[in-house]
Structure 1
């Protein structure tokens, strides 16, 4: 056998072995991802779809909504007492590949099912669990919440670190407690890449502004996380992100739905993201601070989200008829 033939065969064998190794790696990674997401899966008590939907939606074909719930699971707030410290509802429109996000202030004064009087929306998770939080958001904005993603603080920190940080323009010098409430995070002002602890500090702080600005920062950071995720240049980064999920996330999005959603949002040049903020006024009742939401703001954003989901008015009409029949 000539030297050239031996070289050609050797090169071919090396290529096949390398290709096989890459295929095995991808298959292995796929299995790890499926296992992690499956272990994080937790359905809502309501069942497979919102009462505002006639049937379950398909992320690969339908416009959908996802409620992101950031939970404070610190040592003093474990289990059912965990507060929903961040609430962002995102609607996805498959036709124009756009996302509408609305931040719901944590102190919003809302109707709840576990007591006669209104309560802060961030208490709903602690007193009623995820179903209560989802139900309250649906009633407040009159849109279906198809899916949820619940993350605790450490999951958020690990996710940002797995992404290699997120880009953010820090508006001011900040000193904030870390995720353990034991240490201090110090951030200088200016454009920079924040690590997990720094991103969490920016998302949590209310030292220099209010809940509305806090909500805007949370949406900006979430948008940066989405951008970073969609711009991965290495499959190993996905592996790190998957491993960061661990047991710190729960969701009712199945692995197959997550895969179809990923293919949907990465199928073109990216997503167009628009941010919305609920307006309102400060309210004190029994020496407790609340944020009293403006009804016009709720109505305007509700219409925007329903239009973005391309939901017709049939549900609203049916709901109004039911209310009239019940004398409400």
Structure 2
């Protein structure tokens, strides 16, 4: 009898320990679930409530059909410089073309001085002026007319928000091609050494802004803009930034507009994520010319047709 009681007493602590471990594991699962739900809830509320903005130039019903069928999509990226008392101009214009069938992504830069007909005005001007005249809607329509291709989505980012975004993900690393010192506007005295360099938010902003110290001028700047976007995409997709998702959502909510809703973003993440595996960067090729005393970047028709073929589709 004594032996049996002793064995029961020895087994009891083990049972208590096992129950305690199970309780801790259960609490961890519940905690992770609550955290995941809070991220999901915050993201949905921010995207649909703060970031979502429809535009007349894009038929979202057509876009949603293409998204559902897994067809190639074109997204116009607008990096906008907005300051107090100024409607802003699109300092960066890029077409992000996603092809899920071949797991390919093309990032095509349109120099801001490109001479184009401004949709809705019937005048010819620098393409970045379209934003000043009619915001994202006019910029989208102008790019569509020039390339004879529909844009399915647009993403407009305040360039100042770029600095906050980079800081939130813990900085980015880029392969810098030229050695130069900052002109003093963003990070005075900062040395951008040649080779792999790590940039914080202000340094990244200075990196995409600089033009006069680059032998390639605005063309060199567009290359650096594409590099920074690629670095942000790569860093943002890494596991290391999972704990910073809510911070990223808040930064984007304050600095980004898009016609994507939350469900669109989920579908893109699930169905088009393989496009990151093969990335091609390109810039419209043309020549600088002075017309009426104004400098323009003139792109020949053959180049327009080439880019039209690269991103596919015909304007409906």
TM-score normalized by the length of structure 2:
0.88
5+ residue gaps, structure 1: 320-328
Structure 2 CA distance for aligned equivalents of residues 59 and 165 of structure 1: 34
1:59–1:261 Cα contact (<8 Å) kept: no
SS at match of 2:240: coil
SS at match of 1:290: strand
Structure 1 CA distance for aligned equivalents of residues 241 and 210 of structure 2: 32
Superposition deviation, residue 55 in structure 1: 7.2
What is aligned with 1:22?
32
Structure 2 CA distance for aligned equivalents of residues 270 and 90 of structure 1: 11
What is aligned with 1:163?
169
Q: How does 1:236-275 map to 2 (within 5 A)?
A: 236-266=243-273, 270-275=276-281
2:169–2:241 Cα contact (<8 Å) kept: no
What is aligned with 1:124?
130
Q: How does 1:166-185 map to 2 (within 5 A)?
A: 166-170=172-176, 171-178=178-185, 184=188
- Decide which of 8, 15, 21 is 1:11's aligned counterpart: 21
> Aligned in 2, Cα 1:223/1:55: closer, same or farther, shift over 3 Å?
closer
Deviation string, structure 1 residues 5-41 (Cα, Å, up to 9, x no partner) = 0000011111111110110011011111111111210
> Aligned in 2, Cα 1:269/1:83: closer, same or farther, shift over 3 Å?
closer
> Aligned in 2, Cα 1:236/1:178: closer, same or farther, shift over 3 Å?
farther
What is aligned with 2:229?
222
What is aligned with 2:301?
295
What is aligned with 2:98?
92
Q: Which region of structure 1 is more displaced relative to structure 2, 25-34 or 292-301?
A: 292-301
2:58–2:151 Cα contact (<8 Å) kept: no
- Decide which of 73, 77, 84 is 1:68's aligned counterpart: 77
Tell me which structure has the larger Cα radius of gyration: 2
2:79–2:93 Cα contact (<8 Å) kept: yes
Structure 2 CA distance for aligned equivalents of residues 31 and 60 of structure 1: 27
Superposition deviation, residue 265 in structure 1: 4.1
What is aligned with 1:48?
59
Structure 1 CA distance for aligned equivalents of residues 85 and 193 of structure 2: 31
SS at match of 2:70: coil
Superposition deviation, residue 263 in structure 1: 2.1
What is aligned with 1:325?
none
SS at match of 1:126: helix
Q: How many residues align?
A: 301
SS at match of 2:136: helix
What is aligned with 1:189?
193
Structure 1 CA distance for aligned equivalents of residues 283 and 57 of structure 2: 28
> Aligned in 2, Cα 1:302/1:146: closer, same or farther, shift over 3 Å?
same
5+ residue gaps, structure 2: 1-8
Structure 1 CA distance for aligned equivalents of residues 234 and 33 of structure 2: 27
SS at match of 1:253: coil
